[in-house]
Amino acid sequence: MPSDPSSSPPHAPEPPEALSATARQRLDAYLARIDGQDFSGASLLSAVDIVRWSLDLRSLPIPRRLDGLVLDDPQTSNHHLLLAAPPLAGAVLYLSHDGDSRVVFADVEGFLDAVRRAAADDREIEDFHPPVSPPADDQAGVGALIRSLLASADDEDAAVAFIPSLDLRDNGLLRELASHENFFVAEALAVEIAKRPSAALREIASMCAAHAHPQAANAGKRAVAAVASL
């Protein structure tokens, strides 16, 4: 049974060197926010377990690069992470072990609202994820993060998780993604275009449809169809 975060101390446990200063500040603010509230029916972690899980997952590129704090453990190998590092500091990302990881809430309030609704309806938090990720406030920063991840052989696949946070207006970046040799990148972009079609994305959708890999190309064709239906 996951620990009840409502009984957690107001501050994260020692040792202080376990987390970065910014992560500890985020954690302390989060713990203060939920202090005294009843989340006993949820899968939220205690302060001790947040630190333990967060450090355990630091070998993964997304928690490492974004200073992620693991907020829950529904025992499915999927977790919600409170991001402490820019360009998405304060947002909550869904880290999925076999699905599509992405930012699902712009802030902790959105996450906690979903937690309450899920508990009230005896459903999973994932059932209350928005179909479209909130666009990041720092679009230039997200673009730089994606490019940085794509430049790393070890972290390349993690870039896909941040494509949903784009507002799809940086045509130069979109062209890079649509033609990237990693077909997961082009596919993820095509999926976002299909969710948010606009006439301005017609060329980018066509580039995705022309990708050498059939999985990306098929997603691109769906994006082209979505744009054509406008």
- Using only C-alpha atoms, what is the Rg of the chain? 19
Residue numbers of the domain that contains 192: 139-228
Rounded Cα distance between 81 and 89, Å, is 11
Q: How much is the pLDDT for 38? A: 85
**89/157 same-domain check:** no
Rounded Cα distance between 121 and 156, Å, is 38
Contact between 163 and 146 under an 8 Å Cβ cutoff? The reply is yes
3-state secondary structure of 38: coil
**35/116 same-domain check:** yes
Position 133 in a domain: no
Position 149 in a domain: yes
**124/221 same-domain check:** no
**184/81 same-domain check:** no
With the C-alpha atoms ordered 38, 1, 113, 79, is the resulting torsion angle positive or negative? Answer: positive
Judge if the upstream peptide bond of residue 15 is cis by omega within 30 degrees of 0.
Answer: yes
**45/149 same-domain check:** no
3-state secondary structure of 125: helix
Contact between 54 and 12 under an 8 Å Cβ cutoff? The reply is no
**13/121 same-domain check:** yes
Give pLDDT tens digits along the chain (230 positions): 344 443 344 444 545 458 999 999 999 999 999 998 888 778 999 999 999 999 999 999 999 999 999 999 988 889 999 999 999 999 999 999 887 999 999 999 999 999 999 999 999 999 999 999 999 999 999 999 999 999 999 999 999 999 999 999 999 999 999 999 999 999 999 999 999 999 999 999 999 999 999 999 999 999 999 999 99
Chain centre to alpha carbon of residue 136: 11
Q: Is residue 174 packed enough to be buried (19+ CB in 10 Å), middle (13-18) or exposed (0-12)?
A: buried
**70/155 same-domain check:** no
Q: How much is the pLDDT for 99? A: 73
Residue that terminates a domain, selected from 128, 150, 175: 128
Q: What is the pLDDT of residues 136-170, one digit of tens each?
A: 999 999 999 999 999 999 999 999 999 999 999 99
**149/192 same-domain check:** yes
Residue that terminates a domain, selected from 109, 128, 147: 128
